[in-house]
Structure 1
Amino acid sequence: MGTRGPGVQPAPARRARMGEEEEGRRAWAGESQGEQGQPAISNPLGLTRLGSLPANAGGDDGASIFIESYKSVDERQTNYNVIPGKKGQCVYQGITMFEQAVWSPKPCVTCLCSGGEVLCDEVTCPPHRCHFPYTPSGECCPVCMDTASRGDVLDFSGDSLVANDPDSVTPDLDPILDPVVTRTKAEIELLNREEEQRLLEKEKRRKKQEEAERQRRRQEEKRRRQEEKRRQEEERLQMEKEERRQEEARRLKEELAMKERERKLEEERRRHEEELKEKLRELAELEEEEEEEEEEEEEMEWLLRGDVFQMFPDEPTEEDHLPPPLAKPTDREEEDEKEGVVHRPGITLPLGCDISDVTVTCENAKLTNFPPLNIPELKSLSLEGNSITTIPVGAFNGIPNLESINLGKNKLTTAGIAPHTFKGLKFLSRLYLDNNLLEKVLPDFPSTLQELKINENHLKGIEENSFQGLSDLLTLELEGNLLSEGNVDPLAFRPLSQLSYLRLGRNHFRTIPQGLPPSLLEVYLENNLIEEISDSVFNQTTNLNVISLRHNRLEESRIAPLAWINHKNLESIDLSYNRLYLVPSYLPRALVHLVLVGNQIERIPGFVFAHMEPGIEYLYLSHNKLDGEGVEPQSFLGTYTSMTELCLDHNQLITVPPGINQMSTLHFLRLNNNNIRTFAEDAFCDPENDQDANILTLRLENNYIDPRKISSCAFSCVRSYSSIVLKPQWTK
């Protein structure tokens, strides 16, 4: 049931002055409204009256009996009428109340005049679960802040908090303010500060939790990266192990195959020798049989003559010692001699040719055609230095057992060589076609070929199948042609599974050709136009031992860091006559021999050799531009226990570079043709090192050194003074 203050309830005094008829009319009208379903006085709190106790008649003292308080919040209306009834009056505190009159003597108490008795209800407020409840003006129970925001507005006037009219509700009230009407501003400010402090602490806790979460995520990410790195490292090690295993298996397989080939060749050679010996033995046996038959015939003649005494021949005269007269040459032999044909017992050779054992040599014999030969046991044939233009079909039918053919310095063309010319030579292992006019690699080489040279020709390209079937080839030379990375197929070298020696110099390559076989040990690319070495070009050739790149266009910045630093077998690199200004970094760890002659090197960076194991032994830096500032104190770090030969001649050095006196294994040192004038007493020899002298040769000529100013201890580590070259010296 709703409650109202004394200022808003019906005034009983005014009702007392009214006439009974007027009051009866009002009561009747009120009852009529209740019976017709008009809304009664609303209960703002929605409380329900549970029951009542009878009260004494209202006396002068105004005492009243209170019924049970309201407990539930479900009912929205009261069952009392505010219109007085027709009969019965009540006196409350000296005031006459009509029948069914309702009034509120104090907050949360509602009274009713019923049958001359005053019945009063007291509202019991429900419990709240909010921190700061408050009692709005005109209400008897406190409400929560969110409830207040929907129906009441707090009015801060003076030092107390008062609820204003619900019609002027402000929805956003400070939730930390206690809505009790007696709360002061100081308390409100204190509550504000406490609430702010609580919010700050809550924000700090939230930030701390977020930071802890970020830290946890960072740790998790770090752990994940470490785990990934460890996994990748394990995979890499496993791959390296597998590669080493495969490489070892391949090497063993190659060795076994090589031994098997050598065994077969040796067996074939022995078989041929045995066949030749067998033929010679058969010839000897035939000769012996013929001699025996002749002797038997002579004995039979003596017996048939019947002579008793055998007559011995007379003593030989001078005529008997003379050689028998030569038979006159036949007409055929005279014609052959005019045509330049040389006759040997059972063999006919052109003029200018010679035969020795199983080798025929016709070098510079002015031959224009391939000579017809019929020597089955022939092993080697050299026709170098002639003018042969063609090789006809069947040219080798009479010499099928050839193992080596030299056709260099002729005028052979690709079209002039009959197809499958060399295919029938089952034992051919070496073929030299240098200095001819070939434009294309010949097809159908025999599979037994181990060495092929086509230098100084007009080759314009190499196709994918140019070397098909040459799985036994060990050496290939293609220098002095018209080859480039544009006309060499990347798969051209794939069939050469045993190739170990490759020469591609004097061509037109701008980059290292792709597809080099993994078995390669030495590669020579001198006199090309190479400008760059990428980090993947030598990835497959992990067995490389020697790389020669003399006379190209390389700069140190165009050599990729990973081009060859991890090659475990690469011991020799020649970069002479390129465009280097610095000693290149990232050199192979296993490097032993480095040639940098004829560049424009001005500086040896510090620690450039420090990563090498066991260390570089031969370093050639002649004919460069090293000066007084070009060598740093750490330039030779890593070479002190390995350097054997160091050439720094023909530079612009003004003194002996630092670090040389620490090279305990140095044998040969060249500093001639520089601008050296003076050097320290310990420039060559470390005075604290009492080991035996190690330098065998020291060259200092063509500098500006005054021999009279050299300390007597300067060359204590040189084995012999006779090995020191000091003269001549330049003078200004």
Structure 2
Amino acid sequence: MVTLRLMWGLLVLCVVAASPPRYARQAELEKYDNNNVDLDLNVDADEVYDYYDAIDEPQIEIGTLGPDEDIDPLHGASLEEEEEEENELPIKPQLIPSGSGESGTLMGPSAQGGMATCMLCTCLVGSVYCDDLKLERVPPLSKETTHFYARYNKIARISKSDFANLNKLKRIDLTSNGISRIDDDAFFGLPALEELILRENSIRQLPALPPSMTLIDACHNQLGNTGIQREAFKDMPGLLYLYLTDNNIDHIPVPLPDSLRSLHLQNNNIQMMHEDTFCNPHDLNYIRNALEDVRLDGNPINLSRTPQAYICLPRIPIGALI
């Protein structure tokens, strides 16, 4: 026991002798103060000593723990990789500046399948604008397209594959393209199509259209006497506007749905109108309130000869009465 006590006493003396004296620590503090560092000189020396003693304490090293056994180290992403992934997601649409050499284009996930088209045309949400780009055919369109505009181009033919599987397409505007041929089933398979504008082309045969139509504009074409199929508009319960001006048509394309509001047939070759064209000759109480706008001016027809043909209309058609 005596021996152990002697050894313990020697150990304590060695520790005390090895520790730096207080005046040495105070000298370090004064040297630090001389380097123009602002320190509070009113701090008690014992407190400063305790602060430096705390620095000498062993520090816990962070980040040296082994990987979790449940995580495969081969598949663990580094911090830099995680930051790159955060920067990449989510994908946000970006608008190409107008001075970049391309037309302003909003491209994002919704443009899939029509990305190449959006590099050439202007894509905004579900609308695609390809006006005046000298196109010779309908470009590929995304399945999310709802409105398509390709006016003032050089498209000569519309094939059945141009608008295939575009189940959300509501409006097509192909004004002034020089179109001379349209496949008969090019538009019929579009369940949401409501508005079709084919003005100022060279169309000789109007194709079959889906019953969902509300507006058909085929003015300034070459439909002639046989360009409109028999009873072409009969099964369109929501049709509101039918424009067939300047087509050299020689008859009114009956029957017309009761929903129709506006019928433009001016500057054609219509010479006569029958009593059942608009009204029901067997029901004198029948009134066709919706059809308020009928244009027959510019046709070789005398409306005064067949007054019974439009007696059920709220307004007299516009045309020659003499």
Distance in 1 of aligned mates of 2:147 and 2:109: 17
Cα drift, residue 601 of structure 1: 2.5
Amino acid at match of 2:154: L
Cα drift, residue 669 of structure 1: 0.9
Matched with 1:640 is 257
Deviation digits for residues 72-104 of structure 1, max 9, x if unmatched?
A: xxxxxxxxxxxxxxxxxxxxxxxxxxxxxxxxx
Q: Is the 8 A contact 2:164 2:189 kept in 1?
A: no
Identify if the C-alpha distance between structure 1 residues 520 and 697 changes in structure 2 by more than 3 Å, giving closer, same or farther. farther
Equivalent of 1:619 in 242, 258, 261: 242
Amino acid at match of 2:239: I
- 2:121 pairs with 1:510: no
Cα drift, residue 567 of structure 1: 1.5
Matched with 1:536 is 161
Matched with 2:271 is 654
Amino acid at match of 1:492: A
- 2:238 pairs with 1:631: no
Identify if the C-alpha distance between structure 1 residues 559 and 697 changes in structure 2 by more than 3 Å, giving closer, same or farther. same
Q: Is the 8 A contact 1:648 1:671 kept in 2?
A: yes
> Alignment partner of 1:661: what SS?
coil
Distance in 2 of aligned mates of 1:493 and 1:528: 15
Q: Is the 8 A contact 2:185 2:207 kept in 1?
A: no
Identify if the C-alpha distance between structure 1 residues 539 and 685 changes in structure 2 by more than 3 Å, giving closer, same or farther. same
Distance in 1 of aligned mates of 2:318 and 2:118: 48
- 2:216 pairs with 1:594: yes
Cα drift, residue 560 of structure 1: 1.6
Matched with 1:580 is 203
Amino acid at match of 1:439: G
Q: Is the 8 A contact 2:151 2:174 kept in 1?
A: yes
Cα drift, residue 499 of structure 1: 3.5
Amino acid at match of 1:559: I
Distance in 1 of aligned mates of 2:291 and 2:196: 20
Identify if the C-alpha distance between structure 1 residues 541 and 494 changes in structure 2 by more than 3 Å, giving closer, same or farther. farther
Deviation digits for residues 437-491 of structure 1, max 9, x if unmatched?
A: x4347xxxxxxxxxx459xxxxxxxxxxxx5xx22679xxxxxxxxxxxxxx975
Distance in 1 of aligned mates of 2:111 and 2:189: 27
Cα drift, residue 640 of structure 1: 3.3
> Alignment partner of 1:624: what SS?
coil
Q: Is the 8 A contact 1:597 1:623 kept in 2?
A: yes
Distance in 2 of aligned mates of 1:431 and 1:696: 50
Matched with 2:283 is none
Give runs of ≥4 in structure 1 deviating > 6 Å.
494-498
Amino acid at match of 1:616: L
Q: Is the 8 A contact 1:497 1:517 kept in 2?
A: no
1:546-561 residue pairs with structure 2 within 5 A?
A: 546-555=171-180, 558-561=181-184
Cα drift, residue 697 of structure 1: 6.5
- 2:317 pairs with 1:698: yes
Identify if the C-alpha distance between structure 1 residues 593 and 575 changes in structure 2 by more than 3 Å, giving closer, same or farther. same
1:30-109 residue pairs with structure 2 within 5 A?
A: none
> Alignment partner of 2:308: what SS?
coil
Distance in 1 of aligned mates of 2:115 and 2:210: 27
Question: Highest Rg: 1 or 2?
Answer: 1
Amino acid at match of 2:219: V
Amino acid at match of 2:145: L
Equivalent of 2:191 in 561, 564, 568: 568
Q: Is the 8 A contact 2:212 2:238 kept in 1?
A: yes
Equivalent of 2:170 in 514, 524, 545: 545
- 2:101 pairs with 1:439: yes
Distance in 1 of aligned mates of 2:118 and 2:153: 23
Distance in 2 of aligned mates of 1:493 and 1:554: 20
Q: TM-score, normalised by structure 2?
A: 0.59
- 2:109 pairs with 1:471: yes
Aligned Cα root-mean-square deviation (Å): 3.7
Amino acid at match of 1:522: H
1:123-162 residue pairs with structure 2 within 5 A?
A: none
Matched with 1:501 is 127
Identify if the C-alpha distance between structure 1 residues 615 and 433 changes in structure 2 by more than 3 Å, giving closer, same or farther. same
Cα drift, residue 543 of structure 1: 0.5
Matched with 2:232 is 608
Amino acid at match of 2:199: S
Distance in 1 of aligned mates of 2:200 and 2:155: 12
Matched with 1:45 is none
Q: Is the 8 A contact 1:669 1:699 kept in 2?
A: yes
Distance in 2 of aligned mates of 1:570 and 1:550: 17
Distance in 2 of aligned mates of 1:667 and 1:661: 13
Cα drift, residue 510 of structure 1: 1.5
Identify if the C-alpha distance between structure 1 residues 586 and 537 changes in structure 2 by more than 3 Å, giving closer, same or farther. same
1:5-44 residue pairs with structure 2 within 5 A?
A: none
Q: Is the 8 A contact 2:240 2:262 kept in 1?
A: yes
Deviation digits for residues 307-354 of structure 1, max 9, x if unmatched?
A: xxxxxxxxxxxxxxxxxxxxxxxxxxxxxxxxxxxxxxxxxxxxxxxx
Deviation digits for residues 389-413 of structure 1, max 9, x if unmatched?
A: xxxxxxxxxxxxxxxxxxxxxxxxx
Identify if the C-alpha distance between structure 1 residues 498 and 668 changes in structure 2 by more than 3 Å, giving closer, same or farther. closer
Identical columns (%) = 20
Cα drift, residue 432 of structure 1: 8.1
Matched with 1:60 is none
- Stretches of structure 1 that go unaligned for 5 or more consecutive residues are 1-422, 442-451, 455-466, 475-488, 687-693, 707-732
Q: Is the 8 A contact 2:135 2:153 kept in 1?
A: yes
Identify if the C-alpha distance between structure 1 residues 473 and 539 changes in structure 2 by more than 3 Å, giving closer, same or farther. closer
Matched with 1:682 is 308
Distance in 2 of aligned mates of 1:591 and 1:695: 24
1:365-404 residue pairs with structure 2 within 5 A?
A: none
Cα drift, residue 699 of structure 1: 1.9
Distance in 1 of aligned mates of 2:209 and 2:277: 20
Amino acid at match of 1:698: P
Amino acid at match of 1:640: P
Q: Is the 8 A contact 2:111 2:118 kept in 1?
A: no
